[in-house]
Structure 1
Amino acid sequence: MTPQVTDHKGGVWSIAVPIPDNPLGHTLVHLLETDRGPVLIDTGWDDPDSWTTLVAGITACGFAPAELHGVLITHHHPDHHGLSGKVREASGAWIAMHAADTAVVRRTREAEPGRWLDQLTARLAAAGAPDEHLAPLREARAQGRGRTFPGQGAALPDRDIGPGELLDLPGRRVRALWTPGHTPGHVCLHLEEEHPSGRAGGFGRLFSGDHLLPGITPHIGLYEDPKGAEDPKGAQGPEAPEGDAVPDPLGDYLDSLERVGKLAPAEVLPAHQHAFTDAVGRVRELIAHHEERLRRLRELLREPRTPWQLAMAMEWNRPWEQIPYASRNIAVSEAEAHLRRLVKQGQAERVPGAGPVRYQAA
């Protein structure tokens, strides 16, 4: 197998590791040379072909997998963290992640079999999903399917990545930037070194994970919790639980974008698509996108709607009828995250009554 490997110069490489049956195509796993050996930034999906590609890519960069010194995980999603266990087995490398995402990994590993399926069904029912959408989930649960889910086999990180921390990577200057939103513990990693090409217009290079992508708006939904810790009933909603402690993923994401914009790196090395410049311009585009989406949602909420009805009425990259089954679940979670933002801003409120929760503009 000939992997797609790119030499970004200055001891930085990217390896395109495939994601099976996913329109994203691949995860860009970055390899960073250090004085103690190579370090990976993310690992890719846990799949035999993905592992073969990763190994071939490391070899093409001039190293053996056994030489890997460490792994920095931008966030816990399986297309980033999935192969971490195999990397550790092959090399003994340490694995580092922000504590908030490590907690999700730990809860995922400890969750009762089928718990995630129960939680998903409860959340969708509370959001107003129709019976025909819930039926396959209930059937899968009754047949004992859904006892495993992506992430259960990933390694438990043994190091924390602290916000603002200058990481222990001899010979390199890499600083962690906590950028929650896509996940509660997402981090970007700023390589505080002059760009090897001497490129002007910013300083250093930013490994941005899924936080900042050149042509895709990252998914911002309610934070996942296999044990339903955000809501003891396992059915999170835009107002559960009560008070200022309610996680606000979209608010987190917008705040994180502002910090990245102020950083103004010379180049961004994301985990999908391709490297790009003008991080500041891309940040402005993403902030404007979400502000416009919130404005349109307020218009839709002139009449009460459930989160499911709201998702159906929102603009996506294709008509609702063409959105695959699993992607509809993601769309509803994104609608709920935007609803939660509006609720916290006092621009939307829950409509009293039994049955699926409904919201309207305040």
Structure 2
Amino acid sequence: MTRVTEHGGGVWSLKVPIPDNPLGHTLVHVLDTGRGPVLVDTGWDDPASWTELSDGLAELGLAPVDVHGVLVTHHHPDHHGLSGRVREASGAWIAMHAADIAVLRRTREARPGAWLDYLAGKLAAVGAPEEHLAPLLAARESGRARTLPGLRAALPDREIAPGELLDLAGRRLRAIWTPGHTPGHVCLHLEEDHPANLPGRGRLFSGDHLLPGISPHIGLYEDPDDSTVTDPLGDYLDSLERVGRLGAAEVLPAHQHPFTDATARVRELLAHHEERLTGLLSLLAAPLTPWRLAERMEWNRPWDEIPYGSRTIAVSEAEAHLRRLVKLGRVEAVPGSDPVAYVAVG
């Protein structure tokens, strides 16, 4: 596996492995600036991942101690996990959108077991069977909640403001707020001529927002203390259209590989979600709980073969699609149903 790829114009990517994950690795991007290298994401907090990040930097004649700053596209551990260790090594600043900083702060400050309590209650409310709830309750009782990823994730010391031209010496990098995958996901638009003179407007570090061959997970924004009814899928679709209008010459995502024609990829993803929403309306001709809906949706494998943790993610995605359909007035909750069931309207 090639550890380092040069993209020209003072930009490289490093493959940092994600343990036990089919995605394989996170593409950590290195951006040369007048004050030293800046990383876009850092990878999972794991000894092998740290070694790969360090070795990749060494191939560029650098070390973690040389890093000037870290720009985090979103708070997930395969993107933000090693940020704290980079800061410990170098004194680098860490920047993230305020909405995702709030998620990190809430996670760090929650009492042990609070997340598992919330998750178990939420899954029960959407119709999860007892056999799915049992491991969560067992983990709660055993104290394993203290080992969940992200509980000790580093708090950033800078906020990335939407539309901001970031203070990077010698570079023009603008923050584009793209909520959907997380509430504070950002893409970063390098507003400079493409080094290979490809047609379009610069390059886009897209994180998980825009990927060449897969659609990112769109679940619910989870905040146990906030009753606001969010619409993550609506946020994501709006963000996609905004990114499509940028007309970037090339996209440098955090997974898979770089690609061109971002506008065409945006159109594909918009069509994919429209097709999926239409398919869900057919499934909802009769009332279904979110869990039963998730069982009937099309995934990359049959429901019986989906691992335990991935089922929780799948039902969250089903809920996000339901929220969108409810907001559009095409689905409604069945009055008095417990667990709550939804049905198509009209």
TM class, shorter-chain normalised?
over 0.9
Paired position in structure 2 for 1:89:
88
What is the rounded CA distance, in whole Å, between the counterparts of 2:109 and 2:79 in structure 1? 20
Paired position in structure 2 for 1:62:
61
Kindly provide the CA deviation profile for residues 235-282 of structure 1, in whole angstroms up to 9, marking residues without a partner as x: xxxxxx4xxxx2110000000000011001000000000000010110
The sequence identity of aligned pairs, in percent, is: 74
DSSP 3-state at the match of 1:352: coil
Paired position in structure 1 for 2:244:
261
Letter in 2 for 1:357: V
DSSP 3-state at the match of 2:268: helix
DSSP 3-state at the match of 1:331: helix
DSSP 3-state at the match of 1:120: helix
| 8 Å CA contact 1:74, 1:97 repeated in 2 | yes
Residue in structure 2 matching 1:221, options 201, 219, 222: 219
| Aligned counterparts, 1:151-300, within 5 A | 151-200=150-199, 202-225=200-223, 228-231=224-227, 241=228, 246-300=229-283
Are 1:328 and 2:307 counterparts?
no
Letter in 1 for 2:213: G
Are 1:73 and 2:72 counterparts?
yes
Alpha-carbon offset, residue 354 of structure 1: 4.5
When the two chains are superposed, the root-mean-square deviation of aligned CA atoms in Å is: 1.0
Kindly provide the CA deviation profile for residues 175-199 of structure 1, in whole angstroms up to 9, marking residues without a partner as x: 0000000000000000000010111
DSSP 3-state at the match of 2:145: coil
| 8 Å CA contact 1:3, 1:56 repeated in 2 | no
4+ runs deviating over 2 angstroms:
none
What is the rounded CA distance, in whole Å, between the counterparts of 2:133 and 2:154 in structure 1? 32
Letter in 2 for 1:264: G
- TM-score relative to the length of structure 2: 0.98
Are 1:307 and 2:290 counterparts?
yes
Paired position in structure 1 for 2:116:
117
DSSP 3-state at the match of 1:293: helix
Alpha-carbon offset, residue 64 of structure 1: 1.9
Are 1:22 and 2:31 counterparts?
no
DSSP 3-state at the match of 1:108: helix
What is the rounded CA distance, in whole Å, between the counterparts of 1:353 and 1:192 in structure 2? 53
Letter in 1 for 2:225: A
> Number of paired residues?
345
What is the rounded CA distance, in whole Å, between the counterparts of 1:355 and 1:130 in structure 2? 13
Letter in 2 for 1:303: A
Paired position in structure 1 for 2:324:
341
Alpha-carbon offset, residue 224 of structure 1: 2.8
Kindly provide the CA deviation profile for residues 200-231 of structure 1, in whole angstroms up to 9, marking residues without a partner as x: 2x110000000000001100000133xx1234
What is the rounded CA distance, in whole Å, between the counterparts of 2:180 and 2:59 in structure 1? 34
What is the rounded CA distance, in whole Å, between the counterparts of 2:225 and 2:24 in structure 1? 32
DSSP 3-state at the match of 2:245: helix
Structure 2: segments with no counterpart, 5+ residues: none
| 8 Å CA contact 1:206, 1:265 repeated in 2 | yes
Alpha-carbon offset, residue 13 of structure 1: 0.4
Alpha-carbon offset, residue 3 of structure 1: 6.3
Kindly provide the CA deviation profile for residues 99-158 of structure 1, in whole angstroms up to 9, marking residues without a partner as x: 000000111110111111111111110110011111111112122222232112221011
What is the rounded CA distance, in whole Å, between the counterparts of 2:188 and 2:8 in structure 1? 17
- TM-score relative to the length of structure 1: 0.94
Paired position in structure 2 for 1:236:
none
Kindly provide the CA deviation profile for residues 19-78 of structure 1, in whole angstroms up to 9, marking residues without a partner as x: 000000000000000000000000000000000110111111221211110000000000
